[in-house]
């Protein structure tokens, strides 16, 4: 069985970082800083798509500048501040338990770039937990199904053996587009009611609920 996880808002709490550096990048381009609520709505998309939506512009030069400025500010903030990318409560215990299941394969499907994913997995000593890492470096942005289709191809998992776990509407739409089961989490960045409306097959309030829900959906 293949269990795919979103990262920001599902496994790690990076909301304050993302909001802070998005605002800094926009102000640096003499644009109004997006509000935290506006930023939360685009978390989960690949960075260029997210910034294009926030800016309300398709000016490639502007989007590219904002993307690079955001990355620069984000990287700089992590020097001596790695505690700002902490795991949500219960995430480590749940991941350890799922990894110990012989029939389970774990993966990541995220809007974060591969370098950032690799850094965070190393930070939390989770590199060995995940067999497949799907990012915008080699896939279209969510909710296009490419990330899940590639993950299933890499691991040999069928759609009936795959579940997507995430905190945003984009995660649920991604799973539905790929034809797999979806589990929404209530501790992330989108309103849980929106995940239900998007078609989540199940919702969980705590990581301790995850394994039983996966088993129920996959039976």
Q: How do the domains of the chain map onto residue ranges?
A: 2-13+86-218, 15-82
Known catalytic residue at 6: yes
* Buried-state track 121-155, b at ≥16 Cβ within 10 A, e below 16: bebbebeebbbbbbbbeebebbbbbbbbbbbbeeb
Segments of the chain assigned E as strands? 2-5, 105-109, 132-134, 162-166, 181-185, 202-204
Residues above pLDDT 90, as percent of the chain: 89
- Given a cut of 80, whether residue 78 has pLDDT beyond it is no
Paired sense of beta strands 2-5 and 105-109, if any? parallel
Q: Are 48 and 63 in contact (CB under 8 A)?
A: yes
- In angstroms, rounded to a whole number, what is the distance separating the alpha carbons of residues 218 and 52? 37
Question: Which member of 6, 69, 167, 171 is catalytic?
Answer: 6
Residues above pLDDT 70, as percent of the chain: 98
Global model pTM greater than 0.75 = yes
Q: What are the backbone dihedrals phi and psi of residue 217, each rounded to the nearest 5 degrees, phi first?
A: -70, -30
- Given a cut of 60, whether residue 67 has pLDDT beyond it is yes
- Given a cut of 90, whether residue 104 has pLDDT beyond it is yes
Range of lowest pLDDT (26-40, 67-81, 112-126, 197-211):
67-81
Known catalytic residue at 103: no
- Given a cut of 60, whether residue 121 has pLDDT beyond it is yes
Topology (CATH level 3) of domain 2-13+86-218: Rossmann fold (3.40.50)
**What pLDDT, on a 0 to 100 scale, did the predictor assign at position 214?**
97
Q: Are 155 and 131 in contact (CB under 8 A)?
A: yes
Count Cα atoms within 13 angstroms, Cβ side, for 212: 7
Residues 17-45: what's their mean pLDDT?
A: 94
- Given a cut of 60, whether residue 85 has pLDDT beyond it is yes
Q: Are 2 and 162 in contact (CB under 8 A)?
A: yes
Question: Which member of 8, 13, 69, 171 is catalytic?
Answer: 8
Topology (CATH level 3) of domain 15-82: DNA polymerase; domain 1 (1.10.150)
């Amino acid at each position: 069985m293949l269990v795919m996880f979103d990262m920001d808002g599902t496994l790690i709490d990076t909301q304050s970082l993302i909001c802070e550096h998005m605002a800094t990048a926009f102000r640096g381009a003499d644009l109004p800083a997006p509000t935290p609520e506006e930023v939360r709505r685009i978390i989960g998309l690949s960075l260029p798509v997210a910034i294009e939506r926030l800016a309300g512009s398709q000016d490639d030069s502007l989007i590219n500048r904002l993307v690079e400025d955001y990355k620069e500010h984000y990287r700089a903030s992590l020097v001596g501040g790695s505690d700002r990318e902490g795991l949500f409560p219960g995430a480590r215990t749940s991941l350890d338990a799922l990894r110990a299941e012989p029939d389970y394969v774990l993966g990541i499907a995220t809007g974060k770039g591969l370098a950032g994913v690799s850094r965070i997995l190393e930070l939390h000593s989770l590199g060995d937990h995940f067999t497949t890492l799907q990012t915008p470096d080699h896939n279209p942005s969510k909710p296009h199904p490419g990330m899940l289709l590639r993950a299933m191809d890499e691991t040999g998992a069928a759609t009936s053996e795959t579940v997507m776990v995430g905190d945003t509407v984009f995660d649920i739409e991604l799973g539905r587009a790929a034809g797999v089961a979806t589990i929404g989490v209530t501790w992330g960045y989108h309103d849980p009611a929106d995940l239900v409306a998007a078609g989540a097959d199940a919702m969980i309030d705590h990581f301790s609920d995850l394994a039983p829900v996966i088993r129920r959906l996959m039976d």
